[in-house]
Structure 1
Amino acid sequence: MRVYLPCTLPALARVAGAGELGPAPLTGYAVTPALIEWYVSGDTEELEYVALTEAARASLRMLAADRADGVEVAARRVVVAVDVPDGDVTVRPDLEERARVRLDAAVPSARIAAVHVDEPEAVKDVEAAIAALPAADLGDDDARFTVDGAEANELLWYATQEIPDLIG
């Protein structure tokens, strides 16, 4: 199963050094039965894009949390796509996020299929979205619009052999 794991550039550097994504449990996003039911007319590619987008939203929250903890982190969303056995994935149908899943074990780097990262030109929109998150969470429509604005930026696709260039 293809699972999209939210990440940040510093976390990706730790993955490269450790040789795995972890520690478990890991929250990811995938094409789940609930997502298929909700998105009735979508094909697999469209459904995977929805899961990728959910992971990018989670990456934005990781960036905000790092900043709140005083960690210097580039305002670029990162999503790591991994291929894992279906049995390693726990689907949570009770959650509002239809694509959300849990991995109960760390994921070896060999299972990374690709990495998706904001292009440098997206930094301004991602910075604004990070700043707007608290107000958006409280229901401010203008702040939600700003957060959604980060999603207007497509994540770029990188092969696994390009990870050293991303973190270098």
Structure 2
Amino acid sequence: MRVYLPSTLTAARAVLRDRTVPAGTAFAVTPALREWYSQSDTEEMEFAALQNAARACLRLLDADPDAPPRRFVFAADVEEKGVRVRDDLERGAVEVLEPVPLASVRAVHTDDPADDEAQAAVRAAVDAVLEADLGSDDAAFVVDGAEGFELLWFATQELADLL
């Protein structure tokens, strides 16, 4: 099963050092996501799961104000038995029950480190994400602004260079 694990630059450094991505909340193509995107193909549904993980990065950045304003998402393949679907929390949410070896990570998605405009949008979204989660339309507009900057794709071999 392909899962998208949200992270931050700070946490990504620990992933590189420890060679594992910590267990925890991630996103995947779950039954509720399939139902919501019933007219979409698998690739579009996986993109939606990636977007959900990118939004979760904003919450992680809010909890770690010292982390640089860059979203990091690890795309990994894990055994389904090691994942518990949590559509009750959020559409597409899953709980990865065990740390994921770096060897199971297929790609790293992150904001362009050279794009100052993207970093400013992410910084603003971090400040607004909790209000957006609580239903503020103005805050949701700010969060959507960051989501307008697509995450770049990198091979896991490039992780050290990204950090």
Question: Which TM class, normalised by the smaller chain length?
Answer: over 0.9
| Distance 1:146-1:112 versus aligned 2 partners, 3 A rule | same
Structure 1 gaps, min length 5: none
C-alpha distance after superposition, 1:107-157 (max 9, x if no partner) = 111111000001132101001111223433443322210111100000000
Distance 1:89 1:132 in 2: 30
Contact 2:26–2:93 (CA under 8 A) maintained in structure 1: yes
Partner in structure 1 of residue 155 of structure 2: 159
Deviant stretches of 4+, over 6 Å: none
Partner in structure 2 of residue 100 of structure 1: 93
- The alignment's TM-score, normalised by the length of structure 2, stands at 0.93
C-alpha distance after superposition, 1:90-123 (max 9, x if no partner) = 112323x210001111111111100000113210
Q: Which moved more, 1:134-143 or 1:9-18?
A: 134-143
The correspondence of residues 40-55 of structure 1 with structure 2, limited to 5 A, is 40-55=38-53
* RMSD over aligned Cα atoms: 1.2
Q: Which moved more, 1:46-55 or 1:111-120?
A: 111-120
Distance 2:40 2:69 in 1: 31
Distance 1:159 1:15 in 2: 14
- The alignment's TM-score, normalised by the length of structure 1, stands at 0.90
Structure 2 gaps, min length 5: none
The correspondence of residues 64-75 of structure 1 with structure 2, limited to 5 A, is 64-67=62-65, 72-75=66-69
Counterpart among 45, 68, 82 of residue 88 in structure 1: 82
